[in-house]
Chain A
Amino acid sequence: MKMTFKKTVIGAAAILAAAFGGISIASAAGGGDSHYEMKHVHWHFDGPRGTYDRAAMQRGYQVYREVCSSCHQLEHVAFRHLGDKGGPFYNEHYKNPNDNPLVKALAADWTVEDIDIDTGDVIDRKAIPADMFPPVYANASAAAASNNGKAPPDLSVMVSARTGGADYVYNVLTSYDKNDNMMNMMMNSQVAMANPLSEGLVEYEDGTEATVEQMAKDVTEFLAWTSDPKMEARKSLGLATMLYLLVLSILMWFAYKSVWRNVKH
């Protein structure tokens, strides 16, 4: 009797799994009736021990800076985050990323609005690591007005905000129609963002060839980090926690067997 109940539960779990399978099929089919097939990239951060590819993130920052940032903000990211542990420009000699000269230099490349404390005037100044990435437009209406009626979304959590995650972002960037730069094949529709990438658009400092696929992959790696900047810390603590719990569960099992050794139940 006991066994059959267990079987029931296993059966129920199978149904649940089938249900989740059904949902993922549904969402995959939800894109429309195009025959576009999602390209699945093997990401460096996949899997329980995956980490961000530092070189790819740094190239990705360059793509963001030179291409995406003309329209898209990174609302939740500060320059100092770039030098945090697990970030693209982390340097172990500078535990405080505000002191990291590279981060300081990257921030200084941006202009932010501030108030002159002596006069109260609105002024522009060079950014420092403590500043957040500045907004691109004065307000949402201005953003929409300059971009075919649709305000460019914030990119800092974009990878988390789309079903499909990093693959989704990569596929958006690499699936524009060759003859129509407003037509996105993955979304199967005309979109407000014209094809942003073209062969050799940026010149990588490390000599990597700037193909559309390479730039898309690099900027997605960077945006995966901006979406989930603590992933590496989380995964490494996760491994320790899981191992600890596993050992503890074995000990608890033996404690249980030992306490119950003389009791039939």
Chain B
Amino acid sequence: MSGHPSTYEPKYAASKWLDKRLPIIRMGADFMTYPSPRNLNYWWTFGGILSLCLVAQIITGIILAMHYVPHVDMAFDSVQRIKRDVPFGWLIQPMHAVGASMFFLAVYTHMFRGLYYGSYKAPREMVWIFGCVIYLLMMATGFLGYTLPWGQMSFWGATVITGFFGAIPIVGESLQQWLLGGFAVDNPTLNRFFALHYLLPFVIAAVVGLHVWAMHHAGQNNPIGVEPKSKEDTLSFHPYYTVKDGFAVVVFLLIFAFFVFYQPDALGHADNYIKADPMATPPHIVPEWYFLPFYAILRAVPDKLMGILLMVGAIAVLFILPWLDTSKVRSMRFRPVTRLWFILFVIACFILGWHGALSPDQPVMGVKSVWWSRAATLYYFAFFLVILPVMGLIEKPKELPESITKSVLGEAS
């Protein structure tokens, strides 16, 4: 799996026996001794952090599923019961809810890192594409999970999102009814959302396996984007990166714990403490914060179908990114002009997130919010479809260091 010569030597009779039949210990040992570039910085610790997030969500989620009741009349009450009467339910429930936010925080950091350092370029296209699949599955899982507490935002968020399918020409309406199991979001919807919310994390875990496999096969990228050339350029994953990842994980857990214990509701919406009422539409329906950029893109155009196509396109464009960026140089460190465009891209994403939470008519610095969203949407697509393809052709990159070791020693002196 790891694509490097194995150094594992079974020591005991039993491990020798097993190694001939199923080299599973060898696989683990090779994983731990995997040669990683010696110059990986803290942005590279998010892979480990994300694995932890997935495991934490699955464990807390399974416990919650033992106490949760997926029925429109009882779902909201059962969540309250978990928080009040289930032993340590008051801890497990916010861990799961906050955990979703922390998961997305980590995945966005991970993705921006991949973009900045060109981790999607050959030979790592499959790593990137599996990453995009994981992200899509995470969005689906996050959305399905937010429906389960059956608060006002759960219900109306589900109504809005499933309404997207109704905008598809000809088959839209029947497709929407098929997905919902009825004419509106109701008990059949909640039941299937619960079933799928329980299923998808395991699909994510499987795709994570492929993601890591592809990464180990192609080798890790690194901050200068120059492939390791000698043994000197790499370090064994353990103990060097286990200890570095370990430190980063603990710092991440500090932030996680702060929210769980002191601000468990800060990342959610107060309306979700109101039981779902199909007869009362909230004045502003907003999705969870991690969907806000896409919500802003959706609302940037007046036509519903166009908005949905743009939103889908905003994710679809990520899948073809390895073929859009024409530059052979991976790291933005050596692309001084594109680097500035990248910084603007990050700002555009934040602007989209900000305006996704506002009402489109609300003026911000004298300009209606929707125009901020439009400008940022335009830039979002321009970055992928124009800037990256063109800059790769016209930009003269800085000279690349000869090797990782040279660059490390050079920087140090």
Number of B interface residues at 8 Å Cβ cutoff, please give it: 53
A2 with B254: CB separation less than 8 A: no
A246 with B254: CB separation less than 8 A: yes
B260 with A5: CB separation less than 8 A: no
A233 with B90: CB separation less than 8 A: yes
- Say which one of B2-10, B137-145, B357-365 lies at the interface with A: B357-365
Chain A residue nearest in CB terms to B408: A264
Chain B residue nearest in CB terms to A29: B362
Chain B residue nearest in CB terms to A80: B85
Answer yes or no: B350 CB below 8 A from chain A CBs.
yes
A241 to B261, CA, bound (A): 9
Chain A residue nearest in CB terms to B41: A2
Mark each residue of chain A from 234 to 245: 1 if its CB lies under 8 Å from any CB of chain B, else 0.
110111011001
A23 with B271: CB separation less than 8 A: no
A19 with B274: CB separation less than 8 A: no
How far apart are B400's CB and chain A's nearest CB, in angstroms?
13
| Residues on B with beta carbons closer than 8 Å to the beta carbon of A160 | 265, 270, 273
Chain A binding surface SS class: helix
A161 to B275, CA, bound (A): 10
- Say which one of B46-54, B64-72, B236-244, B311-319 lies at the interface with A: B236-244
* Contacts of B237-258 to chain A: CB distance below 8 A: 239-240, 243-244, 246-247, 250-251, 253-254, 257-258
Answer yes or no: B131 CB below 8 A from chain A CBs.
no
A19 with B408: CB separation less than 8 A: no
A161 with B273: CB separation less than 8 A: yes
A255 with B270: CB separation less than 8 A: no
How far apart are A185's CB and chain B's nearest CB, in angstroms?
20
Answer yes or no: A26 CB below 8 A from chain B CBs.
yes
- Say which one of B75-83, B169-177, B179-187, B381-389 lies at the interface with A: B75-83
A48 to B359, CA, bound (A): 33
Given A12-B350, A238-B262, A259-B239, A265 and B90 touching (CB < 8 A)? no
A242 with B254: CB separation less than 8 A: yes
Answer yes or no: A126 CB below 8 A from chain B CBs.
no
| Residues on A with beta carbons closer than 8 Å to the beta carbon of B271 | 161
Answer yes or no: B91 CB below 8 A from chain A CBs.
yes
B84 with A81: CB separation less than 8 A: yes
B346 with A230: CB separation less than 8 A: no
Answer yes or no: B333 CB below 8 A from chain A CBs.
yes
Given A12-B350, A76-B84, A249-B254, A234 and B91 touching (CB < 8 A)? yes
A162 with B270: CB separation less than 8 A: yes
Chain A residue nearest in CB terms to B270: A163
A75 to B76, CA, bound (A): 11
Given A8-B343, A76-B80, A252-B246, A1 and B240 touching (CB < 8 A)? no
| Residues on A with beta carbons closer than 8 Å to the beta carbon of B80 | 76, 156-157
| Residues on A with beta carbons closer than 8 Å to the beta carbon of B250 | 245, 248-249, 252
| Residues on B with beta carbons closer than 8 Å to the beta carbon of A259 | 239-240, 243
How far apart are B46's CB and chain A's nearest CB, in angstroms?
13
| Residues on A with beta carbons closer than 8 Å to the beta carbon of B273 | 157, 160-161, 227
A245 with B253: CB separation less than 8 A: yes
| Residues on A with beta carbons closer than 8 Å to the beta carbon of B364 | 22
A12 with B90: CB separation less than 8 A: no
Answer yes or no: B31 CB below 8 A from chain A CBs.
no
Given A245-B250, A249-B250, A12 and B243 touching (CB < 8 A)? no
Contact partner of A265 among B39, B275, B351, CB < 8 A? B39
How far apart are B236's CB and chain A's nearest CB, in angstroms?
11
A165 to B269, CA, bound (A): 12
How far apart are A30's CB and chain B's nearest CB, in angstroms?
8
B243 with A19: CB separation less than 8 A: no
Answer yes or no: B354 CB below 8 A from chain A CBs.
yes
Answer yes or no: B38 CB below 8 A from chain A CBs.
yes
Answer yes or no: B347 CB below 8 A from chain A CBs.
yes
User: Among A77, A153, A234, A246, which residue has the most Cβ atoms of chain B within 10 A?
Assistant: A234
A255 with B243: CB separation less than 8 A: yes
| Residues on A with beta carbons closer than 8 Å to the beta carbon of B251 | 249
Mark each residue of chain A from 47 to 68: 1 if its CB lies under 8 Å from any CB of chain B, else 0.
0100000000000000000000
Contact partner of A242 among B84, B244, B257, CB < 8 A? B257
Given A235-B262, A249-B251, A1 and B333 touching (CB < 8 A)? yes
5 closest residue pairs by CB, A with B? A238-B261, A19-B354, A161-B273, A230-B90, A252-B247
Chain B interfacial positions (CB closer than 8 Å to A): 38-41, 77, 80-81, 83-84, 90-91, 94, 116, 223, 235, 239-240, 243-244, 246-247, 250-251, 253-254, 257-258, 260-262, 264-265, 270-271, 273-275, 333, 343, 346-347, 350-351, 353-354, 357-359, 362, 364, 408-409, 412
Chain A interfacial positions (CB closer than 8 Å to B): 1-2, 5, 8, 12, 15-16, 18-19, 22-23, 26, 48, 75-77, 81, 153-154, 156-157, 160-163, 165, 227, 229-230, 233-235, 237-239, 241-242, 245-246, 248-249, 252-253, 255-256, 259-260, 263-265
Give 29 pairs: A residue, B residue, CB < 8 Å, sorted on A. Answer: A2-B223, A5-B116, A12-B347, A15-B347, A19-B357, A22-B364, A23-B358, A26-B357, A76-B77, A76-B80, A77-B84, A153-B274, A157-B273, A162-B270, A234-B94, A242-B254, A242-B257, A242-B258, A245-B257, A249-B247, A252-B243, A252-B246, A252-B247, A255-B247, A259-B240, A259-B243, A260-B240, A264-B409, A265-B40
